[in-house]
Amino acid sequence: MSPPGVRVPAVAADGLRRTFRRDTGEIVVALDGVTLRAEAGSLTALVGPDGAGKTTFLRLVAGLMAPDAGTMTVLGIDVAREPQRIQDRIGYMPQRFGLYEDLTVQENLDLYADLHGVSAADKRRQYPRLMEMTALGPFTGRLSGNLSGGMKQKLGLACALVREPELLLLDEPTAGVDPLSRQELWQIILHLVAEQRTTVMVSTAYLDEAERCGRAVVLHQGKILTQGAPDEIARLADGKVFLADPPAGQTARGLQAHLLGAQAIVDAVPEGGRVRFIRDGAADARVDALAQVAVAPAQPRFEDGFMTLLRRAGDSRPASVVTLDKPPERQGDGVVVEVRDLVRMFGNFAAVDHVSFEVRRGELFGLLGPNGAGKTTTFRMLCGLLPVTGGTLRVAGVDLRRARASARQRIGYLAQRFSLYGDLSVVENLEFFASAYGLRGGRKRARIDWALRQFELGDLARLPSRHLPGGYKQRLAMAAALLHEPALLFLDEPTSGADPLARREFWQRINALTEQGVTAIVTTHFMEEAEYCDRVAILDAGRILAQGTPAEVRAHARRQEGREATMEDAFIAIVEEARAHGHPEAGAA
Amino acid sequence: MNGAAGLAAKLRRIRALVRKESFQIVRDPSSMIIGVLMPVMLILLFGFALSLDVTSVPVAVVLEDPSPAATDLAAGFRLSPYFNAHYTTSMETARAMMLDLKVDGIIRIRPDFARQLALGDAEVQIVVHGSDANRARLIEAYAQGAIAQWSARRASAGQPVTTGPVAVQSRIWFNEANDSHWFLVPGLIVMVMTLIGAFLTTMVMAREWERGTLEALFVTPVRVDEILWSKTLPYFALGMVGLSLCFLAAKFLFFVPFRGSLWVLTGASMLYLLVALGIGLFISSAVKSQLAASQLTLVATYLPALMLSGFIFDLRSTPLAVQAIADVFPARYFVSLLQTVFLAGDIWPVVLPEAGILLGMVVALVAANRFVTRKTLA
Amino acid sequence: MSQPLVDSLWRILALVQKELLAVLKDRKSRFSLMVPPILQILIFGYAATYDLNYVPYAVLDQDRGAASRELLAQFDGTGIFQRVANLDNASEIGKTIDDQTALVVIQIGQDFSRNLALGRPADVQLIADGRNSNTAAIASGYVATIVDAFNAQWPANHGQTGPPVATAMRAWFNPELETRWHMIPSIIGTIVMMMTMNLSAMSVARERENGTFDQLLVTPFRPAEIMIGKAVPAMFLGLTQSTMILLVAQLWFRIPFQGSVLTLYAGLALFLIAAVGVGLFVSSIAATMQQAMIYIFVVIMPFALLSGLTTPIDNMPLAFQYLTLINPLRYAIIIAQRVYLEGAGIGLLIPDLWPMAIIAAVTLSAATWMFRHKVA
């Protein structure tokens, strides 16, 4: 115990190390020599790729695990020795929110209030405040399992806040949540820090969220790469960040793909019709890819600093570009997918409400929207997995639900979650899907070799696929979907839950495929990923609110102070406008 | 925090968790299926469908001797409630009926029966279908009984005594009517308690591990013992409801006598329920996936309760190794307690040792659960 | 063969191969498929018997004559009856039975020897513990048999005439009337059913839960191909387990086998198709593995209880007897017993074979339909 009057840091970690044993027997180091402190009243972000150790760190703070070595002191208490004393005083929201889905909103709140010993008087004072903050007031009687993703997350937060904790830990609170809910959540967090001096520690995969925090800690493979104020970290990329205008005849994503492949370029992403890129150390080095391109220096952001750091840490550049053996013929630009007034009801609830769009050959079409907007339902109908309630759809000229099984030969489908056989090895999975698509003999062997080579899976061919690291699972799933060289790809939230590096790698592959003539339909809730698409449709509550090229959609939003409007600004503007015109949120219906 | 305030806070937390658990039981269909539907189904099956009693067995009576004595004996089989006699004069017909499973036994009265009877050396042949040996043996005994009755009738009519010198007068205590429901229905309670106590709790605890809800629960002032209490009390109550249902069904639906005292029955059931709950919680803490945990629970509790508890099959006749295995599982002690309390009464020399063993198991399991359940994630 | 048919067969083959790989690759799952059935047949083979080979009994011999000693010697000579107490007066009987010291008490009255010597009927009282009335009835039967034998011997040895009516008992197919001969063939079907139904109930539900089922449905697989590809491996594993259990029955318990192995396997195969059909149907309506497990448990339990394994079907009320008609285990048990003990040929078994074919046809087509029409 520290003497009174001396300010103790809220969290002080010293030389933390924590390992796990996989069922295969190998030892994985989750945290390795982590030392950091968070002052009382501060807001700290933990960022880093998948498997960097963010969740493990938060669990160590919460006393849910003991470190193998090093010490963790929280609120002046040694966590390993007295975890209960910490747990009496902090609020914690795990990745899966920890809500009981068969309890109502009110019952969940009551449960946590009673567990935290909140008195009746305090409840009377706290509940209205929490309800106002989270806008859950009208839904107190609803089972929390029936809430939308954003509402679940706000309820989870409310449960962690019932007792006004001294320290609040949030583990990826915004994963898979729509931009509006994300914005609302951050307003709550910032308010807590400003008004109540709550110490908050939050892990996130959204790099723009780290910018809102007082401090950011960048974790990578269990080690701290750097920590400091987000703008300090952004400054690591000072003078190296530029915006390029694609020359006439080239799309932004075309130029971006080109740049990513070039030497001396750390990172490139499409942004508002231009390409944002980071040059390597030597700022004056010639880059051939930029010969014809108008380039303007740009203000570095946290993301730029983060990418620079990761590159420096030796994470290899995503170099994988898929080359098809036999690219589909690019004859004309006929309509490949046609959807007219598509409706899908679940009981009284319209999951998809008169959706219409079409996709042409060779196009990369994006369906954007928050969780529960109806993207996956639309997809399942397109793939013939779900009968339609109304409207018509044509995929390559047929309705896959009624067409002969062989019609499915032409499509590839990548489900939202990793959905290959976890017990089977990489190569066994590939063999099974090759046979399922009717490949035999030499052709089958050739295609499997192709897949192992293209997706750099050769070294892992014998590993059971459930033991693959996250990014490799995604590669295997894509390889399996491409074995039979489909002309049309359905990709359902392929980047959900992936870290920034894996997401870049994925888009690079898709880009390469569409360049070779494959038609692809992609759903995503990362708004900025719309920039990769030829055309996008924005879905909310089962309805299409806007569709067109990224530039057309972006035009819905006004220019924000000091910067171009982003796709996220556009989304928020469009949804708010639609709701103002009387289309209530799906969850509020 | 002083002791009284600490205790009050503790009770408040337990109450909150128990409330939560109760809501979940009512709202989760799988809890309702296991906790309510299955017990009712078991009661119906055990009470109405299962019976080891032999009545109206189809038998062929082959009457090869037309004499009055033989006809009289053959007629005796029609009087017996145990048999449903088909008469024939040809052994061939009877044999064919037996092979077609139309009859389960043949009573053959040979052509020279009357003559031999006069000489004091008559023989009746009983042939049974041996595939179900238990049934075959009972059929044999009932056939002998029918013949003995016939002899008795003849004796009272002044004919010479025709059976052997020693007669067995047997009495089956506690179950004079020899009704198999009387021992099957108490066994029902074991099944219901095992289902609710072990199977259901395993599922709900493993579900919390699997869905990650325990992670949030752990980072609150909740103590481990409070979580264990909250997983015990509601299912304990549900188990007691199951017990009452079974008891009422036994008494008023199947008319099983109840000779012991209610409080001994309740006490014994509570002990067994605690053991079952303890096993369920232990398994789900050790194996955190719902599927694996519930499969393990079935193997570790349900099957032994059915096969190794002495509730259908007598354990005394199994090899020592099997008895040793049966001794490990709590079901056999509870079955012994139930059969005694229902049919024999409060027989302390039986009740006390068996209850003592169950109590020991409760203590061991509580300790094991405190040790295994920790507020840490692997 | 036409090309689509060849393609279809190749796809089915790929699915069969994948299913088998998924189950057999993992050491743990191989273990859980092979070891529990053997353990179960061993334990239940010993436990599931109505034969008594240990009957603790107490004697209240108020006669203490030569005849009573001779009778009691017969009991002690069986090896089954173990005398645990000699009582001195009738008041001790209650306690001996109550606290389960003895299963039966044999009481021989004062003038037993005298009555016998005079050629008069003599009584022996038998008191049995009826808490398990089945055990009590069996024990009483044993006593009756011993006394019968005594009745036949005693007069002859003492110069009197024997009883005028003797019964000659013969049991067909199971001369020693061993319950094990009846139980073990029945248990084969029961164990295999539990394992196979469980496995097939999980198979589609697991794929639904892991999302792989959607992946399967967007490939050219037709629902019927998926059904066959799932049913064949489950049947194959079921037959493998049956073989192991049969080997234990033959080599360890040495149950006499009268019929033809081919007939038995034909019956088992049909039974397994029906069991797999029920399992797959349950699997096709379940959204998660947990649901599948609960549903299949709700199905297996009445199937096992209403099969004739523990209590004879003939003893059930008529309504329940009709209910057993949709229970594949009912037929499997009859077939196994008849092939084992009677050596019944396929012709005799037809009435028990076709109902299983119908169960299989109905459940498998229902499952196939559900594959595509279940709205997740």
* From-to residues of CATH 3.40.1710.10 in chain C: 55-157
Nearest 5 degrees, angle CA A413-CA A419-CA A423?
140
- Per-residue pLDDT of C178-217, as tens digits, reads 778 888 888 889 989 988 998 899 889 889 888 899 889 8
The contacts of residue A398 (CB under 8 Å, 6+ apart) are: A407
| pLDDT at site A589 | 31
CATH assignment of the domain containing A255: 3.30.70
Tell me the C-alpha distance between A211 and A190, whole Å. 12
Residues A59 and A112 in one domain: yes
How large is the ipTM?
A: 0.81
Structural domain boundaries enclosing A130: 11-232
- List the single residue in B42, B48, B143 with the smallest CB-CB distance to C320: B48
**Chain B residues touching residue A111 (CB < 8 angstroms):** 16-17, 19-20
Give the chain C residue whose CA is nearest to the CA of A414: C215
**Chain C residues touching residue A440 (CB < 8 angstroms):** 10
Size of interface A-C (CB pairs under 8 A): 82
CATH assignment of the domain containing A417: 3.40.50.300
Tokens of C223: 């629902």
- Per-residue pLDDT of B16-73, as tens digits, reads 999 999 999 888 888 888 888 888 888 888 888 877 777 778 889 998 888 888 888 8
The contacts of residue C119 (CB under 8 Å, 6+ apart) are: B165, C160
Give the chain A residue whose CA is nearest to the CA of B29: A102
Count of CB atoms situated within 10 Å of the CB of A589: 11
The answer to whether the Cβ–Cβ distance between B162 and C164 falls below 8 Å is: yes
Q: How many residues in chain C? A: 376
Give the chain A residue whose CA is nearest to the CA of C217: A385
Query: What three-state secondary structure class fits B68?
Result: helix
Say whether pLDDT at B183 is over 80. no
**Chain B residues touching residue C138 (CB < 8 angstroms):** 134, 137-138
- List the single residue in C98, C143, C177 with the smallest CB-CB distance to B137: C177
Q: Decide yes or no: CATH 2.40.128.20 for domain C55-157.
A: no
Burial of residue B277, with CB atoms counted within 10 A of its CB: 0-12 exposed, 13-18 middle, 19 or more buried: buried
Residue that has been written with the tokens 């890129």 in this structure: A277
The answer to whether the Cβ–Cβ distance between C99 and B143 falls below 8 Å is: no
Residues A93 and A155 in one domain: yes
* pLDDT above 70 coverage of chain B, percent: 93
Tell me the C-alpha distance between A151 and A185, whole Å. 10
Tokens of C280: 């797959």
Give the residue-averaged pLDDT of B68-96. Answer: 86
- Per-residue pLDDT of C33-80, as tens digits, reads 888 888 888 888 888 888 888 899 999 999 888 888 988 998 898 888
Give the chain A residue whose CA is nearest to the CA of B22: A103
Asked if C123 and B167 touch (Cβ cutoff 8 Å), the reply is yes
Say whether pLDDT at B192 is over 90. no
Query: What three-state secondary structure class fits A455?
Result: coil
The answer to whether the Cβ–Cβ distance between B215 and A63 falls below 8 Å is: no
Residues A33 and A59 in one domain: yes
Asked if A53 and A20 touch (Cβ cutoff 8 Å), the reply is no
Select from A197, A232, A267 the last residue of a domain.
Answer: A232
Tell me the C-alpha distance between A566 and A550, whole Å. 10
Residues A178 and A223 in one domain: yes
Select from A201, A232, A263 the last residue of a domain.
Answer: A232
| pLDDT at site A1 | 43
Where is pLDDT greater, at C159 or A428?
A428
Report the sign of the C-alpha dihedral through residues A105, A106, A108, A109, in that order: positive
Chunked into runs of 10 residues, chain A (589 residues) has average pLDDT values of: 61 92 79 91 89 90 92 92 91 87 92 92 89 85 84 89 91 80 87 90 88 92 91 88 84 80 80 83 62 82 88 64 72 81 87 91 88 84 89 85 80 85 92 92 92 87 83 87 91 79 83 87 86 89 89 78 75 82 47
Query: What three-state secondary structure class fits A310?
Result: helix
Amino acid identity of residue C289, one-letter, is M
Task: List the strands of the sheet with A349-360, edge to edge.
Answer: A349-360, A335-346, A390-395
Residues A467 and A348 in one domain: yes
The answer to whether the Cβ–Cβ distance between C150 and B131 falls below 8 Å is: no
* A328: in domain: no
- Per-residue pLDDT of B273-331, as tens digits, reads 999 999 999 998 888 777 778 778 877 888 888 888 888 788 877 888 888 989 999 99
Residues A380 and A250 in one domain: no
Tell me the C-alpha distance between B13 and B7, whole Å. 10
Residues A66 and A27 in one domain: yes
- List the single residue in B12, B213, B223 with the smallest CB-CB distance to A117: B12
The contacts of residue A168 (CB under 8 Å, 6+ apart) are: A90, A91, A92, A93, A160, A161, A192, A198, A199, A200, A201
Tell me the C-alpha distance between C21 and C18, whole Å. 5
Tell me the C-alpha distance between A585 and A83, whole Å. 41
Tell me the C-alpha distance between B311 and C133, whole Å. 11
The shortest C-alpha distance from C221 to chain B (Å) reads 28
The shortest C-alpha distance from C194 to chain B (Å) reads 11
Residues A83 and A51 in one domain: yes
- Per-residue pLDDT of B336-375, as tens digits, reads 899 889 888 888 888 999 999 999 999 999 999 988 888 8
Asked if A308 and A237 touch (Cβ cutoff 8 Å), the reply is yes
Residues A107 and A244 in one domain: no
Of B55, B58, B137, B339, give the one whose Cα is nearest residue C49: B137
Q: Kindly state the DSSP code that residue A137 receives in the 8-state scheme.
A: G
Q: Kindly state the DSSP code that residue A69 receives in the 8-state scheme.
A: E
Tell me the C-alpha distance between C181 and B102, whole Å. 21
On whether any CB of chain B is under 8 Å from the CB of C317, the answer is yes
Mutate to test the interface with B, among A109, A114, A122 (most CBs of B within 10 A): A114
Q: Where does chain B have alpha helices with state H?
A: 3-27, 29-32, 38-44, 68-79, 91-99, 113-118, 133-156, 181-194, 201-211, 213-218, 224-248, 262-286, 290-297, 303-307, 320-328, 331-339, 348-372
Q: Return mean pLDDT, chain C.
A: 87
Residues A74 and A201 in one domain: yes
Residues A368 and A485 in one domain: yes
Tokens of B84: 């449903």
| pLDDT at site C240 | 94
Give the chain A residue whose CA is nearest to the CA of C8: A438
Give the residue-averaged pLDDT of C261-270. Answer: 95
The shortest C-alpha distance from C93 to chain B (Å) reads 11
Of B121, B85, B303, give the one whose Cα is nearest residue B194: B303
Mutate to test the interface with B, among C28, C129, C134 (most CBs of B within 10 A): C134
The contacts of residue C115 (CB under 8 Å, 6+ apart) are: B165, C121, C122
Tell me the C-alpha distance between A376 and A19, whole Å. 37
| pLDDT at site C327 | 95
- List the single residue in A94, A102, A112 with the smallest CB-CB distance to B23: A102
Nearest 5 degrees, angle CA C147-CA C149-CA C153?
115
Select from A257, A280, A312 the last residue of a domain.
Answer: A312
* A329: in domain: no
Where is pLDDT greater, at B267 or A247?
B267
Of B164, B188, B134, B211, give the one whose Cα is nearest residue B306: B188
Residues of chain A numbered 219-238 and touching chain C (CB < 8 Å)? none
Tell me the C-alpha distance between B143 and B105, whole Å. 10
Q: Which residues partner with A393 through β-bridges?
A: A339
Residues A240 and A125 in one domain: no
Count of CB atoms situated within 10 Å of the CB of A525: 24
On whether any CB of chain B is under 8 Å from the CB of C169, the answer is yes
Among B143-152, B202-211, B216-225, C234-243, which is the least confidently predicted range?
B143-152
* A525: in domain: yes
